[in-house]
Structure 1
């Protein structure tokens, strides 16, 4: 009599499964698993989204709506005086570009752009120099790193008052120069005062971010460079700057977005009515203080669009650079061999001698 047996999988030598054995079918995923995870994620994110909608979304929409209205008195079609808010359409935006307020808007726009370009460029150079100094193995390095945070930790309003005392007519700056300069008056001295004060405060921020990037660079690259006879400038150009570039670009992006919204430093340092240091934020504040809420909202909306455009372009360029690096990654050893072949050959000779 024969008995029926269940078919067994083919086995190879030693009882292991044969190489050509078909894999067991995967278990089907539960249909409701993905939907349940999406619902849970939405529930967990909903409090944050509600807060963002109340804190950012509603004020933004309210300012956008306000920019289409004007306040004050006017005449209707029958010649009667009417007061209060009236719909103005795009008149506030047209006046900002070509109308009665055009000169004030373009002056504030160019001042904002000028401060952004100059201060960020100076802060990048000084921040990189600070990071290189703090990265060296010197005595008291921890104290230097802690003390460099002091200017950045001081509130901007307090920093503005401090530099206002320094740039006073009888202040420290004129005493050191031996010349009477009206730093807080209108003109180029006021621009230089704002640039110096902003650089003093925020250059340490870039320095600390760059220092974090420097600490990730392997020391073997610099050893290979020294063996190959590379100078300090060649090491900076071929090793330090390329490898610290992602961190430096992030620091520059943060500073660009911060300077574009500059308000408190020029307002406290030189006052809010100086033509040469009036930024878009200061202009919007002055218009709102004069109860011109429509033009003020229009200026604020234009500033918001300016910041979004700059951030978008910068992020697109930064993202393309990172994607290109991810597609063709180079290990530190490959970079060392490519830049400094003599050190690579010396290393291979030493390894061959040890093995022999």
Structure 2
């Protein structure tokens, strides 16, 4: 008598297919990265996210005393919506805002441009194997190490009516009064102080360039300018972009140097941070928060455009540039300045 048998699936056939080991390692690395970054994200949320949200919320209100429809005094906060922003762009404070906006942008463009040129020159000098190179590096970095308030007092003494600046040029110029000469004083003092910062970062980039590339270029007859244009600039570009970005963000928030060197309430050097400070000092926290919010948006947009247009992956770009330049180092003899 034949008996029917049924094939039962084995235990191995019931088990789900195992995930590849590589995929599990990647997922585990992502979880570990998220776990390690979570404290930093929490701190940034507390010290950056919350103040930004609180400032925007404050900009929608106005504090102080006012009269209601019945003529009674109303104290405390009053929701005004976007009135503080309307007053900034087209209201009673429009002239002050646009003047400060122009000064802030003007200082940023001029000082960062000068600091970039001078900083790159400083880095090239510090990178050379000259006698007393350690002393040259230390002396160049001294201005950057001085606190900004102390630097402002120092330059205020230099730019006073009977100071060193007027004695050198042989003319009596009122540097610390309102006018274009005050702008020029700020530009000189800011460039003197912070150009070494760019020089320091560019010097770090120069020290990462292999000397074999320069030696191959010299053997093939490349000029000094060709080496600078084809080797130095492409390879220090990531470090230079980071330095310029940091300086741009710093100058956009400029407050202490014009405040100490020239003084408050000077239209020629008044910046966005200064008018925000003045509004807050007069207990007008709503307009002050509106100024701060507009400045934050302005800085964020410029930083995004800077990184987006000039390259965000500076580390990867540095590696690619180094490989490409190393491969083309022997071909520089065909290129002359």
Report TM bin, short chain.
0.7 to 0.9
1:327 deviates by: 7.5
User: Which of 47, 55, 62 matches 2:47?
Assistant: 55
User: Which of 102, 105, 109 matches 2:101?
Assistant: 109
User: Which of 319, 328, 337 matches 1:335?
Assistant: 328
Q: Which residue of 1 aligns with 2:273?
A: 281
User: Which of 284, 288, 292 matches 1:296?
Assistant: 288
1:312 deviates by: 0.8
User: Which of 136, 152, 155 matches 1:163?
Assistant: 155
- Does structure 1 conserve the Cα–Cα contact (< 8 Å) formed by 2:61 and 2:81? yes
Structure 2: gaps (5+ residues): 1-16
Counterpart-to-counterpart distance in 1, 2:80 and 2:326: 64
Q: Which residue of 1 aligns with 2:213?
A: 221
Larger radius of gyration: 1
User: Which of 86, 90, 111 matches 1:98?
Assistant: 90
CA deviation vs aligned residue, 1:101-122 (integer Å, no higher than 9, x gap)? 0000111111000000000000
**Equivalent runs, 1:147-162 vs 2, <5 Å:** 147-162=139-154
1:316 deviates by: 1.2
Question: Normalization by structure 1: what TM-score?
Answer: 0.81
Counterpart-to-counterpart distance in 2, 1:255 and 1:107: 22
Q: Which residue of 1 aligns with 2:14?
A: none
CA deviation vs aligned residue, 1:249-284 (integer Å, no higher than 9, x gap)? 111111111111111111111111110101100110
CA deviation vs aligned residue, 1:288-311 (integer Å, no higher than 9, x gap)? 111111100000000011111111
Check if 1:138 corresponds to 2:134.
no
Counterpart-to-counterpart distance in 2, 1:206 and 1:270: 25
Structure 2 counterpart SS, 1:335: helix
Structure 1: gaps (5+ residues): 1-24, 343-356
CA deviation vs aligned residue, 1:189-219 (integer Å, no higher than 9, x gap)? 1101111111111100101111111122222
Q: Which residue of 1 aligns with 2:252?
A: 260
Counterpart-to-counterpart distance in 2, 1:36 and 1:222: 43
1:243 deviates by: 1.8
**Once structures 1 and 2 are overlaid, which stretch shifts more, 322-331 or 229-238?**
322-331
Counterpart-to-counterpart distance in 2, 1:328 and 1:171: 48
Structure 2 counterpart SS, 1:148: helix
Change (3 A) 1:68 1:341: same
Question: Normalization by structure 2: what TM-score?
Answer: 0.85
- Does structure 2 conserve the Cα–Cα contact (< 8 Å) formed by 1:70 and 1:87? yes
- Does structure 1 conserve the Cα–Cα contact (< 8 Å) formed by 2:202 and 2:236? yes
Aligned length, in residue pairs: 319
Change (3 A) 1:133 1:182: same
Change (3 A) 1:136 1:40: closer
1:320 deviates by: 5.9
Structure 2 counterpart SS, 1:277: coil
CA deviation vs aligned residue, 1:113-157 (integer Å, no higher than 9, x gap)? 000000000000000111111111100111211222211111111
- Does structure 2 conserve the Cα–Cα contact (< 8 Å) formed by 1:218 and 1:332? no
1:79 deviates by: 4.2
Q: Which residue of 1 aligns with 2:198?
A: 206
1:87 deviates by: 0.7
